[in-house]
Copies of this chain bind each other. A is one copy, B any other.
Amino acid sequence: MTPRYGANYVPSTGWFYSWLDFSADAVRRDFADLAGLGLDHVRVFPVWPWVQPNRGLIRRRAVDDLLTTIDIASEFGLGVAVDLLQGHLSSFDFLPSWVLTWHQASVFTDRTVRDGIAVYAAHVAKAVATRDNVFAITLGNEVNNLWPANPTTPSASREWASELLDVVRGAAPDVLCLHSVYDDAWYAPEHPFHPADAVDLGDLTTVHSWVFNGTSRLDGPLGPATVSHAEYLVDLAASLAPGRGVWLQELGAPRPDIPAADAAEFVRRTLAAVAGHPALWGVTWWSSHDIDRGLLDFPDREYDLGLFTVDHEPKPIALALAEHLRSTVTPPVPVELPCPVDLRAEPRRRDEVAPGSAFHTEWVRNRPARIVHP
């Protein structure tokens, strides 16, 4: 299978705040950058509380702006994946006033809030599914980052995602319906979102590879553990659900873990490693564009993740990505490595497969390796 390649769309002007001042021309200019690289899709992120500021109000104009964004992608031949519940974006959580303070309620466990989210999810999913170039709908970006502000339990988290996926599937039966979690779900023993959720729920497994999770401290920026983390996470996910595709839905080159001077080489090595994985469905780079430093309070690494600057200049990582798209990857002949933990049955032992664990070290040493789950 030839993987799809795309970008997570971070607007070059005004970041996601640009939804509040929507400009079709600005979106068109940004998408021209991405199509020019040879990418085939974008992942887009409406901001939940601006679309549904009241539980009883879904703003028509906000949905229209999302549809316009999708139609502009179509002008460039770009497919679109829509994430619904933002929710979490680059350290910021966007939550409506109807779940905060005097109305405090967990988005995961409060029945009334869940019903409100279901109305939102159904409405937006149905609207975007009218567009032929929409190929996937994800519940929301790294929804597990909405915890701990929103209390949940492993069973509640799974039920929440499962229920909401049914809602989305009902509204958009012809697109991929997906769950999305940050990698704490794979590595953090007590995290209330489990690996089994990632591989059981939805139509593909999605993984997000960020080497600032500790991996880059092992041997980064260009060491074997660092440049193989994306492949490792894809392999780990594939091992738990053989035969199911894995979408590397986020991959980025964060500073200071990956200094600017090493970023292009990080891209080359990381993509060369992961591209040959037979389970790989696609790769979506985070992110399309940098963030203007006039916008404050982001973690420093978030500002420079773009393939393009805010002035539309392609950065070396963009050129490295484009170069990869023109290359041919010969699938490796891997060795098989038994996983020491059944992640489905023993999520509390997730730390035994985390970056830096004995098993991960062995996997890196034996590359190319394929994990075999018990």
Which secondary structure dominates where chain A touches chain B? Answer: mixed
Q: Which residue of B lies closest to A299 (CB)?
A: B102
CA A91 – CA B98 in complex, angstroms?
9
Interface string of A173-191 (1 = CB under 8 A from B): 0000000000000000000
Interface string of A59-80 (1 = CB under 8 A from B): 1011000000000000000000
Q: Which residue of B lies closest to A55 (CB)?
A: B296
Also in contact, A100 and B98, with CB within 8 A (given A53-B17, A56-B296, A57-B295): no
Do the beta carbons of B20 and A20 come within 8 Å of each other?
Answer: yes
Is A143 on the interface with B (CB-CB < 8 A)?
A: no
List B contacts of A116 (CB < 8 A). 296
Do the beta carbons of B97 and A20 come within 8 Å of each other?
Answer: no
- State which size class the interface on A falls in: 20 to 34
- The interface of chain A, by Cβ under 8 A from chain B, is 14-15, 17, 20-21, 50, 53-57, 59, 61-62, 91-95, 97-98, 100-103, 116, 145-146, 149, 294-297
CA A91 – CA B146 in complex, angstroms?
23
Also in contact, A297 and B59, with CB within 8 A (given A91-B102, A103-B92): no
List B contacts of A91 (CB < 8 A). 102-103
Q: Which 4 A-B pairs have the closest CB atoms?
A: A56-B296, A92-B97, A93-B101, A101-B149
List B contacts of A62 (CB < 8 A). 20
Most buried by B among A57, A62, A97, A98: A97
Pick from B21, B57, B93, B102: contact of A92, CB below 8 A: B102
List B contacts of A296 (CB < 8 A). 54-56, 98, 116
Pick from B14, B54, B146, B294: contact of A295, CB below 8 A: B54
